[in-house]
Amino acid sequence: MNLKALCASFALLLGLSACSERDLLYYQSNLDEAKVKVEECKETILDSISSKDKESLKSAFEDPECKAAATAYDDYRKQRAKAEREKREEEERLVYERDFSKYVSEFKAMSFSDFYMIAKGCNTFSENYKRSAKCKAFDEVEESKVEENVNALIEKYPGESLIEFRKGKCKGTGYDKGECFISREAVTQQRNNMVQNYLDNREALKSTFNACQKEYSRLRKSKKFAEANRHEESFECDIVLEAAKQLKVFSFSKPIE
């Protein structure tokens, strides 16, 4: 049986429209030829359209070699595009990670005022928005940066001096947005710490509370009501009263027994 007869037999058995030596496997192994064949098939189709030769056009569309070459070359182009995309994404990932690490190091070393100003460009986020390496680094450092600077201020400015520091940074010629923010956080944290210390040491709470209550009552009895109110709102008395409120003692009307 000759080659043509063999091909015809396989075509009938397998339901193929034709049989050719240059099939899909051939063109997958010979992509340069596949590209040439695709261009030839395109030219044939365009010529058939131009000449309005329907038979030629139909034949070109059904040509098994054209189909095999087009499939092989199209698959190759898709694979190449995928490989290039993956390579580009990997390069972008490495650059992103490098920039992220660089910004983390920079942010840890800079002053809080400078760090705080970065927040203006990193305060927008949505599910469809990928954080830049800079903003991701800001997110990474922010919590520890705030905690570090709050603790440093509490240690440097104990007690009421921290409130004075906050006032100087939050108004007037000494105003600094970043320092104002962090000093407010420090004042709040210091107050919470002091209230908790009183709750953990009830004898100290009782002693300080009763001292404040005694002076408050003396001023009230002397009809020095404004002074009594100022004493009640003084730093130490205000904090011990806040702690006492958690024990259901809401005023300095009487001492704690």
Sequence-distant (≥ 6) Cβ neighbours of residue 205 within 8 angstroms: 198, 199, 240, 243, 244, 247, 256
Would you say residue 15 has pLDDT above 60? no
Contact present, 167 and 183 (Cβ < 8 Å): no
Would you say residue 18 has pLDDT above 50? no
The DSSP string of 167-214 is: HHHHSGGG--HHHHHHHHHHHHHHHHHHHHHHHH-HHHHHHHHHHHHH
Contact present, 117 and 145 (Cβ < 8 Å): no
How much is the pLDDT for 55?
84
Contact present, 79 and 36 (Cβ < 8 Å): no
Answer with the residue of higher pLDDT: 18 or 148: 148
Would you say residue 189 has pLDDT above 60? yes
How much is the pLDDT for 129?
60
- pLDDT, tens only, 78-100: 999 999 999 999 999 999 999 99
- pLDDT, tens only, 198-228: 999 999 999 999 999 999 999 999 999 999 9
Average pLDDT over residues 3-32: 58
Average pLDDT over residues 184-190: 97
Would you say residue 3 has pLDDT above 80? no
- pLDDT, tens only, 125-169: 544 467 899 999 999 999 999 999 999 999 999 999 999 999 999
Amino acid type, 209:
F
**What is the rounded (10 degree) CA torsion for 175, 180, 186, 187?**
70
Q: What's the chain's average pLDDT?
A: 88
Rounded percentage of the chain residues whose pLDDT exceeds 90: 72
Sequence-distant (≥ 6) Cβ neighbours of residue 239 within 8 angstroms: 191, 194, 195, 198
How much is the pLDDT for 124?
62
Token reading at 172 = 């007037």
Q: How many residues does the chain have?
A: 257
**DSSP conformational letter for 121:** G
**Max CA-CA distance within the chain?**
130
How much is the pLDDT for 13?
31
Phi-psi map region of 214: left, alpha, beta (phi>0 left; psi -120 to 50 alpha): alpha
Answer with the residue of higher pLDDT: 56 or 106: 106
Sequence-distant (≥ 6) Cβ neighbours of residue 164 within 8 angstroms: 157
Token reading at 140 = 């990474």
Answer with the residue of higher pLDDT: 56 or 196: 196
Measured CA to CA, the distance from residue 74 to residue 111 in angstroms comes to 56
Rounded percentage of the chain residues whose pLDDT exceeds 70: 89
How much is the pLDDT for 233?
95
Would you say residue 11 has pLDDT above 90? no
